[in-house]
Amino acid sequence: MRSLARVNTHTRKQTMTLAPSPLYTRSRAEHARRKAVIAGGVNSNVRLAGTPVPLTIARGSGALLWDVDDNVYIDYAAGMGPMVLGHAHPEVTNAVQQSLATGQLFAGQNQLEAEFAETFVGVLPWVESIRLGMSGTEMDLLAVRISRATTGRTKVVRFTGHYHGWLDPLFVNMGVTPEPMGAVPLTAGQSAAAAADVILCDWNNIEQVDRALESGDVACVLMEPVMCNSGLIQPAPGYLEAVKKLCNQHGALFIIDEVITGFRLGLTGAQGALGIHGDISIYAKAIASGFPLAVLGTTTDLLASVGRGEVNHAGTYNTGVSSVAAGIATLRVLIDSDPYPEMARLTQRLADGLRRLASDTDINLAVDYIGGSLCQTRFGKPDPVTSLADHVANSDPDLLGRFLEALQDHGVRPTSRGLWFVSAAHDDALIDKTLEAAGQALAQL
């Protein structure tokens, strides 16, 4: 068991004592119990990869997690991105607690919706009107539906290595490297008919986008502005501008999925940082500190058909009171406290420290950092990669898995794909502990 000497999770003081060999006895027992009644023992297939067993977390506070064996971890998985303020932030939890006394779902509107929307629209100059849902997946599907209704076309251009949810018709098999402009690889049970409307292009290949749009039946081009789901890969200089120009020329809508980058690469996300915006923008994860809330933002004109009921958007749990309260509180903290410069400084320090550790060994650990509060570790060439194929060629998944397992044993927990999220609750002391653990983990490889 790791012991925690002292924790003050929402100040700049977080001190930890890490034991070298944590035990997972209770996590193993909990996993076995779940597997008897829950397929695979998890409720998201991403969590199947947990080693040596999918952990059972008991609680989180600030930048720290405790599992049921009372092992403590410096958390860089951040709930796969949402915990931009850290776990159980007092202003968010207080807002949610107050909301619970008023009710949860009304089959009608609540008074918090307008406040959230006004705050959200006030932050992002390119957004005039929004719709709220529960996940990025459904907001991406709504964006495609709006695009088809607007253009009268059917096809969707998207990119290898990008991710827009697990549902048909946008999901493709993330476990393989698909052939751009060819057949879309599917997992068992997916609709081949739905996939026929998807055209896959290589990220950063403008010629392929041009060819795809020449088909004449493209309703929209859908992308992450920075590729985050398979490595951390920037758009090439001028690439986003060229895609937007082609969309305008061919009458297709340009959809930017900021489910990960939104409120992570600064208050205005990747679009603000890169100086370009899409026709439709999608946000989720970091906007509500772990509560289910997602936003589609666009112009008043493009959302008018939804507002008239011509394009369907529905959902029993949309704008649940506690989720909207969490969203308002999260945005207020981000606006008022502006944690972004400090998060960027700490993330840069983490990336630089990991690179220095790697340079002291003969292990080719590469760290990709593009700004903001996330970075990517992989084992391959240190030069930036430019596409999914480039990422796959310069990533050793077995070595990464061993590194992540060793990190976990030493009390550090990034995501299972080597993506690290830094929160407003991290501090220099935790970065120091992280780098100490990383050095020990690298020495074990």
Same domain, 118 and 9: no
Q: Would you say 407 and 381 are in contact if contact means Cβ atoms under 8 Å apart?
A: no
> Residue 56 sits in which domain range?
3-84+339-365+387-439
Residue 22 has pLDDT above 60, yes or no: no
Tokens in use for 36? 């008897």
Tell how strand 280-283 and strand 365-369 pair up: unpaired
If one counts every other C-beta atom within 10 angstroms of the C-beta of residue 342, the result is: 17
Q: What is the pLDDT of residue 11?
A: 39
144 in the same domain as 40 = no
**Residue 370 belongs to some domain of the structure:** no
Which residue from 219, 201, 221 is spatially nearest to 211, judged by alpha carbons? 201
pLDDT in tens, 78-103: 999 999 999 999 999 999 999 999 99
Q: Are residues 159 and 183 in the same domain?
A: yes
pLDDT at site 176: 78
Per the domain annotation, does 144 fall within a domain?
yes
Q: What is the CATH number of the domain that holds 166?
A: 3.40.640.10
For residue 379, list its beta bridge partners: 365
Confidence of residue 36 (pLDDT cuts 50, 70, 90): very high
269 and 287 in contact (C-beta within 8 Å)? no
d(CA 437, CA 440): 5
The answer to whether residue 358 is domain-embedded is yes
Question: Pick from 436, 444, 376: which is nearest to 412 by CA?
Answer: 436
Residue 372 lies inside a defined structural domain of this protein: no
Q: Are 244 and 134 within one domain?
A: yes
Same domain, 189 and 225: yes
344-363 as b/e, with b when 16 or more CB fall inside 10 Å? Answer: bebbbbbbebbeebbeeeee
Residue 187 neighbours by CB distance under 10 Å = 13
- CA proximity to 170, closest of 153, 150, 187, 151: 187
Whole-number percent of the chain with pLDDT over 90:
84
The answer to whether residue 194 is domain-embedded is yes
Q: What is the pLDDT of residues 45-69, one digit of tens each?
A: 889 888 899 999 999 999 999 999 9
Q: CA-CA distance, 141 to 263, in Å (whole number)?
A: 21
By the 10 Å C-beta count (0-12 exposed, 13-18 middle, 19+ buried), 45 is classed as exposed
Residue 360 sits in a domain whose CATH number is: 3.90.1150.10
User: Among 149-158, 161-170, 433-442, which is the least confidently predicted range?
Assistant: 161-170
pLDDT at position 21, please?
Answer: 46
281 belongs to a structural domain: yes
pLDDT of residue 2: 53
> Residue 355 has what pLDDT?
96
Q: Are residues 199 and 318 in the same domain?
A: yes
pLDDT value at residue 281: 98
Residue 378 lies in a domain: no
Q: Are residues 68 and 98 in the same domain?
A: no
Q: Structural domain tally of the chain?
A: 2
User: pLDDT tens digits for 365-416?
Assistant: 999 999 999 999 999 989 889 999 999 999 999 999 999 999 999 999 999 9
Q: 167-171, 333-337, 393-397: which has the minimum mean pLDDT?
A: 167-171
**How does pLDDT run across 198-246, given as a tens digit for each residue?**
999 999 999 999 999 998 899 999 999 999 999 999 999 999 999 999 9
Residue 102 and residue 33 in one domain: no
Does pLDDT of 314 surpass 70? yes
Same domain membership, residue 361 and residue 261: no
Last residue of a domain, one of 298, 317, 337: 337
Give the up-direction half-sphere exposure of residue 300: CA atoms within 13 A in the CB hemisphere. Answer: 2
pLDDT exceeds 80 at position 195: yes
20 confidence band (pLDDT: 50, 70, 90): very low
Residue 140 shares a structural domain with residue 235 = yes
What average pLDDT score do residues 157-178 get? 88
Q: Are residues 398 and 307 in the same domain?
A: no
- Asked if 206 and 173 sit in the same domain, the reply is yes
| Pairwise CA distance, residues 247 & 241, whole Å | 10
Percent of the chain's residues with pLDDT above 70: 95
Assigned domain for 445 exists: no
